[in-house]
Each structure stands twice: as structure tokens, then as C-alpha cells.
């Protein structure tokens, strides 16, 4: 099994390779002395707090992430949510109408939306009935124009981790870039793939502060990749893509890591309780095991149960339009009180 050569330069779009990035005022001068007179960015000098443009490289925030995750700053790029990161990856590597990507449904819907937006073909290979990728099928479906494979692990909406051996096989046999979306990794019983960047030049990992870190409202996505990949994305990202309020809030939260750990612990505990309660409900046919902060269940009639829950003021996510997810609902793990109310409500619907 010979490893295919990976050549990043062959993957980058020619226009991206050629272009120069916008050089912002704060890129040109970014001294840290606090008593400088800043007359370079046409800001209003009278307001306080957020009158200045934010640091385009988010140095302080990245250094904190770098410390906590043991990954050098040069391997980190931040986005306005992971959705911006995914869009940047498309724009860096995929030539519209020519290149293609591969995804493995049922999975996160944004890969397909962003493929459509960027006019890039999305080749889909369904997961198996165990929700694991069929690697032979994947390798048969890709061609020389396949730039990216998106894998989500733990996968949304199925909740399972993708097996390590299958990912390693793909990393070794795919000449393009393998993006592993780890939005739910903090809930999983497995280490992040971000520790393997040194072994695999074609590996990229995406994380987010939207789920375990409880900051969906501030929009902060994190992307890890080789320094070469990160510099390409840096070149094309909007200069001030992470606003000052988001940077401040993220730093404040990351410094409170004990609180985050505790919340994750509570959510995992609640996931176990909910699992045990759901398997006892008569109209729930399957409760899939989960490595994330949600449970995917199969019911007798998803539309009917979804509607009944809404009538009782509980909103869960219908996933029954996705392949392999017939009559499926996805339920996020809420607080103790919310989960208790859900369980009582489900029981009341049994007769
Ligand atoms: C929720 C989620 C994200 C998060 O996206 P943000 O833009 O960072 O909020 C990314 N990927 C998956 C699979 C998700 O479920």
C-alpha cells in the first residue's frame, strides 16, 4: 500500500496562489505599547472600548488556545464560527464547476450548502448501517479533482465517532485534504485528531466554541492545520473576521476552564440518564449511543411525535429527511429540569 504523495501547491486554487492579501492598518503596525497615537485606521478616537479595529491575527486569544490545546499558534486559524472556516477551505482549494468534494451522509448539512454556494460538486457516499464510512466506496468515488473529504467525528446527527483505522487509511490514501469536524469532540471519549497534524500533512481539524464551550452566540470556530495550510487560509480570510467582543468573551471563558469541564461533566451525566429513560418509552424504537451532547432516536412516527412535543413547548430536531434516519429525531441534552420535563412529556404521550 504505497502512500500517495501529497502536494499542497497542487491543491490550492491558482487565483489564491497568485493573489496578495489585504494589508490592514493593524497588519502594518501592530505594536503593543499602550500609549501610541493611532491615526492610521480612520477610527473615531472619542468612543471607548470598541472604537478600535480588533487584532486581525487574534494574538492573545490564539496564544491561550495554543497553550490549552498544546498546538503552536502558527497551526491555528480562527473563524466567525466553524461555518466561516469551512467556507474558507472551499474558497482556498475548490475551483468552481471543476473540482469536487466528498461527504458522508447522514452528516452536518453545511458542507453541502457551502458546496452549492461555491458551485462545487458534492459527491456523497452514504455511511454504512453502523454509521461508519465505507472506505473502498470512498476511494472509488474520488478522482483527481477531489480536493476535500469532510468527515464529522463525533458525527452529527448520528452521534458516533468515526473509527480511527478508517481515518488513518484515508489520510494515507487520499491525495487531497481530509477535514475532520470535531464540533462535539469535548463530549467524546477520544482524543482530538489535532494532535496528529505532524504525522499527516493533509489533515485539517475544525472545532468550535459553540457546543461544549457554551458560546454559540459569539461565533468562534477554530481550525488546525499545517503551517502551510494555515497561511493560505490566513491570506484569504476577511481581515477583521473575529470581532473584539468575541475575542474578549472567548478569552474570559477559556480562562474559566474548570467551569467548562464541570458543565461538560453534567451534560454527560444527563446524557446517560436521558438514554436510560428513552429506551423505556414504548414508541421509541432505537436510541443510538452517543459521543456528543445529543441523542438520535428512532420513533414510530417522527412527524407526529415532533408535533406533539411542540404542543407541549419542547422543540427537538427532525432528522427524518436524512438518509438512514427514517423516523429519527435528534434531542440535545438540556438542563436537569428540561430533561425531566421531556421525559415526563414523552411518558404522557405513551397512551
Ligand atoms: C454545531 C456544529 C458546528 C458549529 O458551527 P459554528 O459555526 O462553529 O457554530 C460545526 N460542525 C458541526 C458538525 C456542528 O454540528
Strand 328-332 to strand 177-181: parallel, antiparallel, or no bridges (unpaired)? unpaired
pLDDT at residue 2, as a whole number:
47
Q: What's the CA gap between 21 and 16, in Å, rounded? A: 9
pLDDT at residue 1, as a whole number:
42
200 lines ligand 1 (CB under 6 A): no
Ligand 1 center from residue 208 Cα (angstroms)? 7
Provide the strand spans (E) within the chain.
76-79, 100-103, 121-124, 146-152, 177-181, 203-208, 221-224, 284-287, 294-299, 317-318, 328-332
Joined together, the cell numbers standing for residue 35 give 500609549
Ligand 1 atom closest to Cα of residue 220 = 8
Identify which of 316, 189, 212, 203 has the alpha carbon closest to the alpha carbon of residue 264.
Answer: 212
Ligand 1 center from residue 156 Cα (angstroms)? 9
Ligand 1 center from residue 87 Cα (angstroms)? 12
82 lines ligand 1 (CB under 6 A): yes
Which residue is closest in CA terms to ligand 1's atom 14?
183
100 lines ligand 1 (CB under 6 A): no
pLDDT at residue 25, as a whole number:
85
Ligand 1 center from residue 349 Cα (angstroms)? 32
80 lines ligand 1 (CB under 6 A): no
Which residue is closest in CA terms to ligand 1's atom 3?
183
Encode 19-56: b = buried (16+ Cβ within 10 Å), e = exposed: eeeeebbbeeeeeeeeeeeeeeeeeeeeeeeeebbbbb
pLDDT at residue 23, as a whole number:
86
Ligand 1 center from residue 24 Cα (angstroms)? 29
108 lines ligand 1 (CB under 6 A): yes
Which residue is closest in CA terms to ligand 1's atom 1?
183
* pLDDT tens by residue, the chain, 351 residues: 445 679 999 999 999 999 999 888 888 887 767 788 999 999 999 988 899 999 999 999 999 999 999 999 999 999 999 999 999 999 999 999 999 999 999 999 999 999 999 999 999 999 999 999 999 999 999 999 999 999 999 999 999 999 999 999 999 999 999 999 999 999 999 999 999 999 999 999 999 999 999 999 999 999 999 999 999 999 999 999 999 999 999 999 999 999 999 999 999 999 999 999 999 999 999 999 999 999 999 999 999 999 999 999 999 999 989 999 999 999 999 999 999 999 999 999 997
Which residue is closest in CA terms to ligand 1's atom 7?
81
Whole-prediction pTM value? 0.96
103 lines ligand 1 (CB under 6 A): no
Q: What's the CA gap between 275 and 65, in Å, rounded? A: 33
182 lines ligand 1 (CB under 6 A): no
pLDDT at residue 77, as a whole number:
98
- Residue 319 DSSP symbol: -
Amino acid at each position: 500500500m504505497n502512500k500517495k504523495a501529497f502536494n499542497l501547491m497542487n491543491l490550492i486554487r491558482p487565483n489564491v496562489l497568485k493573489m496578495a492579501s489585504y494589508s490592514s492598518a493593524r497588519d502594518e503596525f501592530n505594536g503593543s505599547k499602550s500609549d501610541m497615537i493611532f491615526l492610521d485606521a480612520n477610527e473615531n478616537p472619542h468612543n471607548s472600548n470598541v472604537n478600535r479595529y480588533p487584532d486581525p491575527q487574534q494574538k492573545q486569544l490564539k496564544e491561550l488556545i495554543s497553550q490549552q490545546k498544546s498546538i503552536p499558534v502558527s497551526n491555528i486559524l480562527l473563524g466567525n464560527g466553524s461555518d466561516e472556516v469551512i467556507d474558507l477551505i472551499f474558497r482556498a482549494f475548490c475551483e468552481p464547476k471543476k473540482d469536487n468534494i466528498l461527504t458522508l451522509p447522514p452528516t452536518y448539512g453545511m458542507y453541502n450548502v457551502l458546496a452549492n454556494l461555491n458551485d462545487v460538486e458534492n459527491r456523497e457516499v452514504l455511511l454504512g448501517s453502523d454509521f461508519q464510512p465505507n472506505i473502498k466506496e470512498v476511494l472509488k468515488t474520488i478522482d483527481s479533482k477531489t480536493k476535500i473529504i469532510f468527515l464529522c467525528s463525533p458525527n452529527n446527527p448520528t452521534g458516533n465517532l468515526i473509527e480511527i483505522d478508517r481515518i488513518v487509511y484515508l489520510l494515507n490514501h487520499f491525495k487531497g485534504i481530509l477535514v475532520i469536524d470535531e464540533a462535539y469532540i469535548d463530549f467524546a471519549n477520544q482524543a482530538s485528531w489535532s494532535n496528529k497534524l505532524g504525522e499527516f500533512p493533509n489533515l485539517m481539524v475544525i472545532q468550535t466554541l459553540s457546543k461544549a464551550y457554551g458560546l454559540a452566540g459569539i461565533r468562534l470556530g477554530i481550525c488546525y492545520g499545517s503551517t502551510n495550510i494555515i497561511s493560505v487560509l490566513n491570506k484569504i480570510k476577511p481581515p477583521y473576521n473575529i470581532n473584539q467582543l468575541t475575542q474578549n468573551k472567548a478569552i474570559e471563558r477559556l480562562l474559566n476552564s474548570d467551569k467548562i469541564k464541570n458543565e461538560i461533566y453534567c451534560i454527560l451525566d444527563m446524557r446517560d440518564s436521558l438514554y436510560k429513560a428513552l429506551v423505556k418509552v414504548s414508541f421509541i424504537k432505537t436510541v443510538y449511543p452517543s459521543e456528543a451532547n445529543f441523542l438520535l432516536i428512532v420513533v414510530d412516527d417522527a412527524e407526529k411525535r415532533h408535533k406533539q412535543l411542540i404542543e407541549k413547548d419542547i422543540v427537538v430536531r427532525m432528522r427524518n429527511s436524512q438518509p438512514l434516519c427514517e423516523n429519527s429525531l435528534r434531542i440535545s441534552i438540556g438542563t436537569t429540569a428540561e430533561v425531566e420535563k421531556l421525559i415526563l412529556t414523552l411518558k404522557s404521550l405513551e397512551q
